[in-house]
């Protein structure tokens, strides 16, 4: 079983800030990592897969980086619509797919 540690669990930020969310694996997963955004009452949406590939239609202010055990989601200039909860997910050791605990990005 691959253990995932996503941090922070809560991030307070202002519109225009650059924010980063971390996801660390207990063992290497190459680049088999995805990032999702979930807004209250809505289904998750895929932002990034293969660690750094931006899903079609996702704004370019979102970017992903990393490989092996350490990964980062960066939002370069936080917009009001970006306040949401973000999840990382590994699909290297799959099944099962496993998700991080989530990071809630709230207004500071």
Partner 1 sequence: EVQLVESGGGVVQPGGSLRLSCAASGFTFDDYAMHWVRQAPGKGLEWVSLISGDGGSTYYADSVKGRFTISRDNSKNSLYLQMNSLRTEDTALYYCAKDLSDVEGAFDIWGQGTMVTVSS
Q: Which whole-number Å values give the CA distances from 67 to 57, 86, 98, in the listed order?
A: 23, 19, 17
CB of 30 to partner 1, least distance (A): 12
C-alpha 65/C-alpha 10 separation (Å) is 20
Q: For residue 32, state whether it binds partner 1 (rule: CB under 8 A).
A: yes
- Give 25: exposed, middle or buried? Use CB within 10 Å, 0-12, 13-18, 19+: buried
CB of 64 to partner 1, least distance (A): 12
Query: For partner 1, how many residues bind (rule: CB under 8 A)?
Result: 23
> Quick one: which of 62, 71, 86, 87 contacts partner 1 (CB under 8 A)?
87
CB of 10 to partner 1, least distance (A): 14
C-alpha 100/C-alpha 94 separation (Å) is 15
Judged by the rule CB under 8 A, the positions of this chain that interact with partner 1 are 32, 34, 36, 38, 42-46, 49, 55, 87, 89, 91, 94-102
């Amino acid at each position: 079983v691959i253990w995932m540690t996503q941090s922070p669990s809560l991030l307070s930020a202002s519109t225009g800030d650059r924010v980063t969310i971390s996801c660390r694996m207990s063992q290497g997963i190459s680049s088999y990592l995805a990032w999702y955004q979930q807004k209250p009452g809505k289904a998750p949406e895929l932002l990034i897969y293969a660690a750094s590939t931006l899903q079609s239609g996702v704004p370019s202010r979102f970017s992903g980086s990393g490989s092996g055990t350490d990964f980062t989601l960066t939002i370069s200039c936080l917009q009001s619509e970006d306040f949401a909860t973000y999840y990382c997910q590994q699909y290297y050791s799959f099944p099962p797919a496993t998700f991080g605990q989530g990071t809630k990005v709230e207004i500071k």
